[in-house]
Structure 1
Amino acid sequence: MGFKENLRSELDYQDMIVKELSEKTGINKRSLDNYLTGHNSIPSADIAVTIAKALGVSVEYLVTGQETHSNGATSPKERKLLSLFEILDERDQQTVLTMVESMAERYANDGRKEKSSVQAG
């Protein structure tokens, strides 16, 4: 897929309309519509970076539909989680972190119990 398809897919995934992206980026709606319809299929690098940052994805992802896994959250689920997390205020972010750490610790402990019972059995 090309830029316009990947941009459309990401907008759909994030349940975002072009007007919202325009407001987040400062790029006028008509220009964004052109990128989505193919009249001007690939924006300049600086515009692509602005769009990618607003969507929480890399320019590489928008251009190729693929992303290298060496630089942070890359799956759609991870991107959505990060995007939602960034909306929260500091107190709520800390609450979420505490909850996730507690859940991860519980799963780690449950995993150790399962392994030791399998080895004992």
Structure 2
Amino acid sequence: MPKTFRENLREELDYQDMKVKELAVATGIPKPTLDCYLSARQVIPPADIAVKIAQALNVSVEYLVTGKDEKSKSPIFSQINPETKSILTDLDSIPQNIQKTIKNLIHQTAESLQN
């Protein structure tokens, strides 16, 4: 049985170790409204609100609604541990020029550990 919006939102908040209050601040959506989306009543937000929530969590609306998205379909991405997924998600939000610097640092570190 597919997971509900409520279940996917709760799992993502737990995964990111984010409180509902923090999500409220990040989205500008009142905490009581977010609590409704997380309650047993399973209220689903309108599309514009779902987009704000997804953007604040750096996930797709599709993921919040269905539990699936294009990233999760990648066999390589699905094999990566949660901490590494979190790092990759953060890295994806960093400008390309800074990503190059980080990439070089990671490669240099990996090479030095192999020697």
TM value normalised by structure 1: 0.67
Cα root mean square deviation, aligned: 3.2
Q: Which amino acid aligns with 2:67?
A: G
Q: Does the C-alpha gap of structure 1 residues 77 and 64 become closer, same or farther in structure 2, counting only changes over 3 Å?
A: farther
Say whether the 8 Å CA contact 2:6–2:42 is kept in structure 1.
no
Shift of residue 69 of structure 1?
3.4
Q: 1:51 and 1:9 mapped to 2: Cα distance?
A: 13
Q: Which sections of structure 1, spanning at least 5 residues, go unmatched?
A: 111-121
Name the larger-Rg structure: 1
Which residue does the alignment assign to 2:87?
A: 81
Q: 2:99 and 2:70 mapped to 1: Cα distance?
A: 27
Identity of aligned residues (%): 49
Question: How does 1:60-99 map onto structure 2 within 5 Å?
Answer: 60-69=62-71, 77=83, 79-85=85-91, 95-99=101-105
Which residue does the alignment assign to 1:19?
A: 21
Q: Which sections of structure 2, spanning at least 5 residues, go unmatched?
A: none
Q: 2:65 and 2:15 mapped to 1: Cα distance?
A: 16
Does 1 or 2 have the higher relative contact order (CA < 8 Å, sep 6+)?
2
Shift of residue 80 of structure 1?
1.5
Q: Which amino acid aligns with 2:106?
A: V
Matched, 1:6 2:8: yes
Q: 2:85 and 2:28 mapped to 1: Cα distance?
A: 22
Q: What SS is found at the alignment partner of 1:69? A: helix
Q: 1:81 and 1:89 mapped to 2: Cα distance?
A: 14
The number of residues matched between the two structures is 105
Deviations 1:88-110 (A, max 9, x none): 89997664232124357x4xxx8
Q: What SS is found at the alignment partner of 2:71? A: coil
TM value normalised by structure 2: 0.70
